Amino acid sequence: MSDQKERVVLAYSGGLDTSVCIKWLQDEKNLDVIAVVGDVGQEHDGLEKVKERALATGAIECLVIDMREKFANDYLSYAIAANAMYENKYPLVSALSRPLIARHLVEVAHEFGAKYIAHGCTGKGNDQVRFECSITMLDPTLTIIAPVREWDLKTRNEEMDWASAHGVEVPTTKKSPYSIDDNLWGRAIECGVLEDPWIEPPEDIWTMTTSPEAAPDEPEYVEIEFADGLPCAINGEKDGLLSIIEKMNEIAGKHGYGRLDMIENRLVGVKSRECYEVPGALALIEAHRALEALVLERAVLHNKLGIEQSWAEAVYNGLWFSPLKEGYDAFLATTQLCVTGTIRLKFYKGNATVVGRKSDFSLYSYELATYDEGDMFDHKAAKGFIDLHGLTSKVWARNRHEQNVWTSVFGDESARWLKGNPWINR
């Protein structure tokens, strides 16, 4: 028993990098490798094959874990509540899956008595941060190994040579020129020609979405029902979150909706050009936002916008299990009660438009809003409201006029503070 090797749990994808990791961890670190393959809804042609590959490469065990239900119910549900978009655009596809995978890695480490966890991320991306921060927060006694950061295999060719020399099966299929990470919430595509921000993404990078030009000529309407902030039915049929997300990906993707092309600020300080296709994620967030617009009280809605941004940033930066995010979650949770109702979306050639909304908790009041007969709004009350609302500005304006330092940007010659200001003197 004493000569039993120590164990490492490796996040395994079946690609070249993580296959080389298995061998490298054995040879260089003298560890027994337990591979973990997570099904988070990514495109694949059979994870059993991936398992065989791990075992053939030398892993002592390979667990294929279906994480999709948990991903939808315990991770994407929060992203919907937060209308989560990093830099107002990216719905956090990869950022959401990492803490989920990390949680399973830690569980497997405990189960198999492993002291080490390894991942195949490079030193340049966000994913390493997300894995490591998550693992450390779940169990600070575990030690993390990142072989790709440690080894000296700079190019793919060097890696293939190392693999051949060490008996690691090298994939025969030609590798895509892109780096891709995908799951239930969408697909991230980077590298290759995309590294030139001036070049339009070639059509072949997209697999979840039809090009808007080739999308159906007929629009399609979809009704999404929410209960306390979570989608619970699609087109009148009750359904689970996982299934609704899959259906939305299908429908929105068919209509060419959900392609993004952006320059993004990574946590490690690099700006990168990223393309995403996120048909279901964007459609559901769009619908959820529309329902919130109907049922949330104004101050809650306005403050929520700030929390949403902070939430997305925390999750992007790997802080899923942090006390900070937990605090945001508590705020979000209180806002989701009564986000219940139905949103009608219209998909057409790359667009998704909210065209209808209804809820028992609607705060929209026809009597207050209408300009027709039946208007109950007290027009006379507006005068006193405006007097007080504008009172401090009025006091200010009176004084500055008297002192002749009126700083209007509309070209008044006495605007002395603004003299020489290029935006004013254009």
* Distance separating alpha carbons of residues 52 and 49, to the nearest angstrom: 5
188 binds ligand ARG (CB under 6 A): yes
Q: List the one residue from 17, 132, 159, 190 that touches ligand ARG (CB under 6 A).
A: 190
Q: What CA–CA distance (Å, rounded) separates 162 from 286? A: 47
Minimum Å distance from CB 178 to ligand ARG?
A: 8
Distance, in Å, from the CA atom of 276 to the CA atom of 183, rounded to the nearest integer, reads 11
> Which token pair is 206?
């997209």
Q: Determine whether 45 is an active site residue.
A: no
Candidates 17, 132, 159, 181; binder of ligand ARG (CB under 6 A) is 181
Span from 173-181, 193-201, 304-312, 390-398 in contact with ligand ARG (CB under 6 A) = 173-181
Can you tell me the distance from the alpha carbon of 127 to that of 133, in angstroms, rounded to the nearest whole number?
10
Q: Which residue has the tokens 């401090």?
A: 392
Nearest approach, Cβ of residue 101 and ligand ARG (Å): 12
At which residue do the structure tokens 């994620």 appear? 281
Question: Closest CB to ligand ARG among 310 and 342?
Answer: 310
Other CB atoms within 10 Å distance of the CB of residue 268: 12
**Residue among 127, 134, 272, 273 flagged as catalytic:** 127
**Residue (188 or 291) nearer to ligand ARG, CB:** 188
Binding part of the chain for ligand ARG, among 99-107, 143-151, 178-186, 317-325 by CB under 6 A, reads 178-186
Region 402-421 residues binding ligand ARG, contact defined as CB under 6 A: none
Which of 127, 277, 292, 308 binds ligand ARG (CB under 6 A)? It is: 127
Stretch that binds ligand ARG, among 103-111, 179-187, 207-215, 223-231 (CB under 6 A): 179-187
We find the least distance from the C-beta atom of residue 317 to ligand ARG, in angstroms, to be 10
Q: Which stretch binds ligand ARG (CB under 6 A): 20-28, 143-151, 180-188, 348-356?
A: 180-188
Q: Would residue 127 show up in a list of annotated catalytic residues for this protein?
A: yes
The residue assigned the tokens 């027009």 is: 379
Among residues 53, 98, 103, 259, which one is catalytic?
98
Minimum distance, C-beta of residue 93 to ligand ARG, in the bound complex (Å): 6
Provide, rounded to whole angstroms, the least separation between the CB of residue 94 and ligand ARG.
4
246-265 residues near ligand ARG, rule: CB under 6 A: 264
| Residue (of 416, 399, 290) closest to 346 by Cα position | 290
Tokens in use for 7?
Answer: 């164990």
Three-class SS state of 76? helix
Applying CB under 6 A, among 18, 57, 126, 317 the residue interacting with ligand ARG is 126
Report if residue 179 touches ligand ARG, rule: CB under 6 A. Answer: yes
**Judged by CB under 6 A, how many residues of this single chain contact ligand ARG?**
11
Instruction: Tell me if 97 contacts ligand ARG by CB under 6 A.
Output: no
Query: Is residue 17 annotated as a catalytic residue, yes or no?
Result: yes
Could you tell me the smallest distance in angstroms from the CB atom of residue 362 to ligand ARG? Answer: 35
- Position 354: which residue type? V
Residues from 274 through 333 that contact ligand ARG (CB under 6 A): 274
Torsion of CA 286, 287, 293, 296, to 10 degrees: -120
Spatial separation of the C-alpha atoms in residues 201 and 404, rounded to whole Å: 56
Q: Shortest approach of ligand ARG to residue 95 CB, angstroms?
A: 5
* Least Cβ distance, residue 274 to ligand ARG (angstroms): 5
Q: Does 132 bind ligand ARG (CB under 6 A)?
A: no
From candidates 31, 54, 59, 95, binder to ligand ARG by CB under 6 A: 95
What are the DSSP E strand ranges found in 301-379?
341-348, 351-358
DSSP 177: S
Instruction: Give the residue with the Cβ less far from ligand ARG, 95 or 352.
Output: 95
- Give the distance, in angstroms, between the CA of residue 41 and the centroid of all CA atoms in the same chain: 14
Q: Is 325 helix (H, G, I), strand (E, B) or coil?
A: helix
- Residue 86 phi/psi, 5-degree rounding, is -70, 135
266 is catalytic: no
Q: Residue 107 is encoded by which pair of tokens?
A: 């569980």
Helix (H) or strand (E) holding 118: strand 116-118
Pairwise CA distance, residues 265 & 201, whole Å: 19
Closer to ligand ARG at the Cβ: 159 or 264?
264
Determine, following the binding rule CB under 6 A, whether residue 94 of this chain makes contact with ligand ARG.
Answer: yes
Residues 6+ apart with CB under 8 A from 144: 116, 117, 118, 119, 131, 132, 135, 136
- How many whole angstroms separate alpha carbon 397 and alpha carbon 407? 9
Spot the catalytic one: 7, 13, 17, 19: 17
| ∠ CA 193-171-205, rounded to 5° | 30
The contact set with ligand ARG (CB under 6 A) reads 94-95, 126-127, 179-181, 188, 190, 264, 274
**Which residues are part of the catalytic machinery?**
17, 98, 127, 179
